[in-house]
A and B are shown apart, each in its own frame.
Chain A
Amino acid sequence: MQQAYTEASEREFVLRLPTFEGPLDLLLYLIEKNRFTLENLEVYPIIEQYLHYVEQAKSLDVTLAGEFLEMASYLIWLKSCLLLPSSKDETGGEEVNPAQELKEMLIAYRAIRQASQDLSMRPMLFRDRFPRGASQEERDISITGIGALLQAISAIKSRTRKYIMNVTANRFNIQGMIERIEGVLKRKQRVALHEVVDTKEKMELIGAFVAALELSKRSVARLIQSRLFAVIYIARR
């Protein structure tokens, strides 16, 4: 996380910035600072202080992680819910309490944080207890086993996916698709949209659809679909 240095000593929040692991960590800090328990928690001042913190960070040109801003927009929404009269009728009688949702989220996070502190208090192997033959090499073993394999595969997948997206986008040519459909319509009275594409690739289908729309606009072809989600046909005019 980024460090924030400032001379302004009254900006206590900002000095503490590097210690927040995330938005929930910041919210818990604010709750504890206000001496609230979760039972007597007043959500409104916490929201105000959270948003104030985010504003201050912005004005000091501190780049906050995206999660902080996501939480800010969630809190603004929550605030509007609290200010509006109960919308019980609109939701069909089922009462949703967004403030309660936030509380549950904080309870779950806080419990995990406590549990992780509890874990770190346990005498740890290689820190407090050492097994026989403990060596530097052993602890720096690189990832092995199925975990490593899956991680590598998912890394490759995410790379290739990006690659395919780019190539398809560049290679794909609406004009070419228009010409192809016109060619087909010279031979046949009508053709199903999915029949004019060679592959089942989404990008190509979208391209064919755009081409069909264009032909329809030019009054070269008519688009026919009997009902929602049925096969779309392109017919010669």
Chain B
Amino acid sequence: MHKREIVEALIFSGSGSVSEKDILKALPETSPEELREHVDDLNRHYEETGRSFRIERASAGYLFVTREEYAPYIKALHTPARLSLPSLETLAVIAYKGPCSKQAIDSIRGVDSSSSLKSLLKHQLIDIKNGKPMLYYTTPRFLEVFGLDSLSDLPDLKQFEEVFREEVREDMPDEG
């Protein structure tokens, strides 16, 4: 039995993400780097043999996900998740500025975010830190959904600010 295949079996055994900590617990004398190498090796193998899935690292854990090109078929089986534009905007504020209060979110967006917050809570993409005021922050599930290892993987917000300061719009926005 190879360690690589044991790693595969461990990740396969979880229906969602299996944390790096749990895998290392089951595989003593393995370093996180070694684990990462095995996962990379497995992914290379899947790619070479034309498999429909790969292993992804998200929020300090690993999970099997299907490749994007198979999404149209899988969508026929499961109704795909949808986030409204206001919810996405609210989520972006929390991802970049969180933990933050509802008031802070509303003031950046210029509108009331109550229903977006409710929907994001329902999808478990955000959670609330108790206190006064209540603070909203993104969950590990958020990282999983957007394929991020940590929040620091998000592109710098400054980059978006600079673009706007300098750019000259050639065409009108199309926000249909």
Contact A147 B121 (CB under 8 A): yes
Known: A125-B147, A129-B56, A147-B128. 18 other contacts (CB 8 A): A21-B86, A25-B175, A67-B112, A108-B108, A112-B108, A114-B163, A115-B154, A119-B88, A124-B146, A125-B65, A128-B68, A129-B66, A130-B78, A133-B16, A134-B78, A139-B78, A143-B122, A147-B126
Tell me which residues across on chain B come within 8 A of A109, comparing CB atoms: 108-110
Q: Which of B87-143 contact A (CB under 8 A)?
A: 88-89, 91-93, 95-96, 108-112, 118, 121-124, 126-128, 130, 134
Q: A: which residues have CB within 8 A of B?
A: 19, 21-25, 28-29, 32-33, 35, 37-39, 65, 67, 71, 105, 107-120, 122-136, 139, 141-148, 150-151, 154
Contact A154 B161 (CB under 8 A): no
A142 and chain B: residue at smallest CB distance: B122
Contact A146 B128 (CB under 8 A): yes
Closest Cβ–Cβ distance, residue B18 to chain A (whole Å): 11
Tell me which residues across on chain A come within 8 A of B70, comparing CB atoms: 130
B22-30, B37-45, B164-172: which lies at the A interface?
Answer: B164-172
Complex alpha-carbon distance, A224 and B135, angstroms? 45
Interface pairs (23), CB distance under 8 Å: A19-B175, A67-B111, A107-B161, A109-B108, A111-B158, A111-B160, A113-B89, A114-B160, A115-B157, A115-B160, A116-B89, A119-B88, A120-B88, A125-B145, A126-B145, A127-B80, A129-B68, A130-B66, A130-B74, A131-B63, A134-B78, A142-B122, A151-B118
Tell me which residues across on chain A come within 8 A of B147, comparing CB atoms: 122-123, 125, 129
Q: Is the interface of B mostly helix, strand, loop or mixed?
A: mixed
Tell me which residues across on chain A come within 8 A of B16, comparing CB atoms: 131-133
Of A25, A105, A113, A135, the most chain B CB neighbours within 10 A belong to A113
Q: How many A-B residue pairs have CB under 8 A?
A: 175
Complex alpha-carbon distance, A114 and B78, angstroms? 29
Contact A127 B71 (CB under 8 A): yes
Contact of B164 among A71, A107, A125 (CB under 8 A): A107
Complex alpha-carbon distance, A146 and B86, angstroms? 24
Closest Cβ–Cβ distance, residue B158 to chain A (whole Å): 8
B73 and chain A: residue at smallest CB distance: A130
> Does B155 sit at the interface, judged by CB under 8 A?
yes
Contact of A112 among B64, B79, B93, B165 (CB under 8 A): B93
Contact B89 A21 (CB under 8 A): yes
Tell me which residues across on chain B come within 8 A of A123, comparing CB atoms: 68, 147
Q: Which of B22-60 contact A (CB under 8 A)?
A: 56
Contact of B89 among A112, A145, A146 (CB under 8 A): A112
Tell me which residues across on chain B come within 8 A of A129, comparing CB atoms: 56, 65-68, 71, 147
Tell me which residues across on chain A come within 8 A of B6, comparing CB atoms: none
Tell me which residues across on chain A come within 8 A of B157, comparing CB atoms: 111-112, 115
Contact A110 B160 (CB under 8 A): yes
B90 and chain A: residue at smallest CB distance: A116
Tell me which residues across on chain A come within 8 A of B109, comparing CB atoms: 21-22, 24, 109, 112
Complex alpha-carbon distance, A148 and B63, angstroms? 26
Closest Cβ–Cβ distance, residue B69 to chain A (whole Å): 9
Tell me which residues across on chain B come within 8 A of A33, comparing CB atoms: 172
Contact B86 A124 (CB under 8 A): no
Complex alpha-carbon distance, A23 and B165, angstroms? 20
Tell me which residues across on chain A come within 8 A of B134, comparing CB atoms: 150, 154
B155 and chain A: residue at smallest CB distance: A118
> Does B9 sit at the interface, judged by CB under 8 A?
no
Complex alpha-carbon distance, A105 and B154, angstroms? 22
Complex alpha-carbon distance, A115 and B161, angstroms? 10
Closest Cβ–Cβ distance, residue B15 to chain A (whole Å): 4
